[in-house]
Amino acid sequence: MVSMKTIWKSRLKRRLKYYAIWTPPWIIVVRFLLDFNFAALFAFQVLFLFKDILDVVSKRDVAPTYFEHLPFSLSTLVLAGSSNGLLLLLSLLDSLLDAYEDIFLEK
């Protein structure tokens, strides 16, 4: 079992940097897709969910470690979740799975 001290020092701290870098661009992308192409927003969310499932099952990263999409899922959850129930469910599942994978899964 991994201690909380180890999680904070090694994993979460490193991931916070990537969250800070990726949050502004993902918010802009979600706002744009919400206004102009809802189907693309839905497709991105499904692809990111499949990516996280693959990451957890294979116990290694499919994408580079610096590529972070948790801010995308959280932005989708907050900005678009109320307009579509399925998108709300997908973004919530992806957010939880991505957070679990980033923080607790040893690769």
Residues 54-85: pLDDT tens digits?
988 888 888 887 888 989 999 999 998 888 89
Residue type, 31: R
pLDDT at res. 64: 81
Residues in CB range of 83: below 8 A, 6 or more apart: 34
- Is residue 72 packed enough to be buried (19+ CB in 10 Å), middle (13-18) or exposed (0-12)? buried
Query: How far apart, in whole angstroms, are the C-alpha atoms of residue 61 and residue 51?
Result: 9
pLDDT digits (tens, 9 = 90+) for 14-46: 788 888 999 999 999 999 999 999 999 999 999
